[in-house]
Chains A and B, each alone.
Chain A
Amino acid sequence: MVQIKENIYWAGYIDWDLRNFHGYSTPYGSTYNAYLIIDEKPTLIDTVKHLGAQEMISRIKNIIDPAKIAYIISNHTEMDHSGSIDALLALCPNATVVASPQGEKHLKMHFKKDWKIKVVDTGSELNIGKRTLKFFTMPMVHWPDSMATYSPQDKILFPNDAFGQHYASKERFCDEVGADIIFREAAKYYANIVMPYGAQVQKVLGALAGVEFDTICPSHGLIWRGKENIEKIIALYKQWSSYTPNKQAVIIYDTMWHSTETMAKTLYRYLNESVPTTLINLKDSHISDAVTEVMLSKLVFFGTPIMNSRMLPSMGGLLTYLKGLKPKNRYAFTFGSYGWSSAGFKEVEASIEEAGMELKAFGAYFQFIPGENELNSLKELAQTAVKSL
């Protein structure tokens, strides 16, 4: 039984086996966090993926008879959080589901059920006994229906996916694991789930400025507590949502016969003399890790050979993903090897611009195998990039 504060418990599901969350690699698995508030009207904030319904229900049973639950707050309809509402309602058929205006619509479209739904909006309050819960809608952080629940009496914010991390562990609180891993996973989560919605995150951060809380209970991963940790994650969300990358570089490439790889490694050598640089081979790395480095880096290099007049499919997949994630305020550079047609690089450049990044130099495109002079010329490209910082 995990108690967060008096009469507030974690009742979630640990998904130890998860390695892929709709295309996002999750090497540590994840958790779906449901939170139980024991008050005159017992309230559950969010549920878990349907596969974890019984685990969630058994955790609830350790604390209270589920039949006593009066409210199930659905902060977000995505099925990893709403997927066990139905199983729980079977045990507490008189409970009311609480959702945002968009949440109500989404729940009806997802589950086609005639649940008793109470619609709340920003400013709405819900008295559950000693506590009066408050709600903030957070449109597009990260769905139209997204909402945060706040308990002023406990000074706890329940912001659903915001501030989440995909991290399965025996620990439940951020201060019980190393800071490096937790902030790294929070960055990967932001990059893959929240990055396109910077302006909306800024609005939420503005609304939270006057709200007093000392604990953040997200819907995935560890619970944030401790002044230093909370200030740090809020500061990072401010930085990420304002599209402010660090002064560092990432080189992302794929290769056929090692020519583009040789170029990537040569660029790495030159760049790393001046700025911290990460090298990512798309053949062996996951695009969800690549986009995390894109979010963190001001300078982004894309390298691909040309095959059948096109970029490699791995680069095509990455750039399609980035067109949706829109990592604004980055400088991009392109390079690669081609055989007889370099036309495919035009598509690479167009995709980069469509993703909101700025091309700062002509691409370095070499025919077949780059020679010594060609490789040496990459020093100039690296210098151009470093100077642009």
Chain B
Amino acid sequence: MTKYKCSVCGYLYEPDLGDPDGGAPAGAEFKVVYGGWTCPICGASKGQFEAEGE
């Protein structure tokens, strides 16, 4: 599963862990996380994330 990095603060979204406090259950692929989800560290929008290794 592809990890996504916040282009603002560097936080790494790891699908295995998800972001349960932010409404993204563990195991959720980044692309299925709901559109209003924001970076749990700096609050950047989902659109400001970039796929790792691409």
Contacts and interface: CB of A to CB of B under 8 A. Distances in A.
Interface residues of B, number: 5
Contacts of B42: 139-140, 144
A197 interface: yes
Contacts of A199: 41
Contacts of B10: 139, 144
B34 to A, nearest CB: 18
Contacts of B41: 140, 197, 199-200
Contacts of A139: 9-10, 42
A102 interface: yes
Looking at chain B's contact residues, the main secondary structure is loop
Interface residues of A, number: 7
B5 to A, nearest CB: 11
Looking at chain A's contact residues, the main secondary structure is helix
B8 interface: yes
Interface string A269-304: 000000000000000000000000000000000000
Contacts of A200: 9, 41
A197 B8 CA distance: 14
Interface in B21-51: 41-42
A197 B42 CA distance: 9
A199 B42 CA distance: 12
Contacts of A102: 8
A199 B11 CA distance: 11
A340 B3 CA distance: 52
Interface string A124-159: 000000000000000110001000000000000000
Interface string B1-22: 0000000111000000000000
B38 to A, nearest CB: 13
A102 B42 CA distance: 13
Contacts of A144: 8-10, 42
A263 B8 CA distance: 46
Interface string A156-174: 0000000000000000000
Nearest to B43: A324
A199 B40 CA distance: 12
Nearest to B8: A144
Interface centre among A102, A140, A199, A200, by most chain B C-beta atoms within 10 angstroms, is: A140
Contacts of B9: 139-140, 144, 200
A88 to B, nearest CB: 28
Nearest to A200: B41
A200 B41 CA distance: 9
A324 to B, nearest CB: 9
Nearest to A146: B9
Interface in A183-205: 197, 199-200
Nearest to B10: A139
Given A102-B8, A199-B41, 13 more contacts: A139-B9, A139-B10, A139-B42, A140-B9, A140-B41, A140-B42, A144-B8, A144-B9, A144-B10, A144-B42, A197-B41, A200-B9, A200-B41
15 contacts: A102-B8, A139-B9, A139-B10, A139-B42, A140-B9, A140-B41, A140-B42, A144-B8, A144-B9, A144-B10, A144-B42, A197-B41, A199-B41, A200-B9, A200-B41
Interface of B: 8-10, 41-42
Interface of A: 102, 139-140, 144, 197, 199-200
